[in-house]
Amino acid sequence: KAGVTQTPRYLIKTRGQQVTLSCSPISGHRSVSWYQQTPGQGLQFLFEYFSETQRNKGNFPGRFSGRQFSNSRSEMNVSTLELGDSALYLCASSLGQLDTDTQYFGPGTRLTVL
Amino acid sequence: AQKVTQAQTEISVVEKEDVTLDCVYETRDTTYYLFWYKQPPSGELVFLIRRNSFDEQNEISGRYSWNFQKSTSSFNFTITASQVVDSAVYFCALSEGGSNQGGKLIFGQGTELSVKP
pLDDT averaged per 10 residues, chain A (length 114): 92 98 96 95 94 92 97 97 97 79 93 98
Q: Which of B65, B83, B91 is nearest to B6 (CA)?
A: B91
Checking if the pLDDT of B100 tops 60, the result is: no
The answer to whether residue A13 neighbours chain B at the CB level (below 8 Å) is no
Q: How many CB atoms lie within 10 A of CB B33?
A: 22
The answer to whether residue A48 neighbours chain B at the CB level (below 8 Å) is yes
B43 vs A56, A104, A107: nearest CB: A107
| pLDDT per position as a tens digit, B69-95 | 999 999 999 999 999 999 999 999 998
Q: Is B10 helix (H, G, I), strand (E, B) or coil?
A: strand
d(CA A73, CA B91): 26
Checking if the pLDDT of B99 tops 60, the result is: no
The answer to whether residue B1 neighbours chain A at the CB level (below 8 Å) is no
The helix or strand, by DSSP H or E, that contains position A111, with its residue range, turns out to be: strand A109-113
Pairing of strands A42-50, A5-7: unpaired
Residue A99's pLDDT is 58
Q: Which of A21, A22, A29, A2 is nearest to A102 (CA)?
A: A29
For residue B45, list chain A residues with Cβ-Cβ distance below 8 A: 90, 92, 105
Residue A11's pLDDT is 97
For residue A45, list chain B residues with Cβ-Cβ distance below 8 A: 103-106
Residue A43's pLDDT is 97
Checking if the pLDDT of B101 tops 70, the result is: no
The answer to whether residue A56 neighbours chain B at the CB level (below 8 Å) is yes
CA angle A106, B40, A3 (to 5 degrees): 25
Residue A28's pLDDT is 92
Q: Is A84 helix (H, G, I), strand (E, B) or coil?
A: helix
Contact of A34 with A54, CB cutoff 8 Å:
no
Q: Quick one: average pLDDT of B33-61?
A: 90
User: Does the beta-carbon distance from A102 to B106 stay under 8 Å?
Assistant: no
d(CA A29, CA A91): 13
Average pLDDT, chain B: 92
Strand spans (E) along B72-110 = 74-79, 88-96, 106-107
| pLDDT per position as a tens digit, B47-60 | 999 998 888 888 88
User: Does the beta-carbon distance from A108 to B43 stay under 8 Å?
Assistant: yes
The answer to whether residue A98 neighbours chain B at the CB level (below 8 Å) is yes
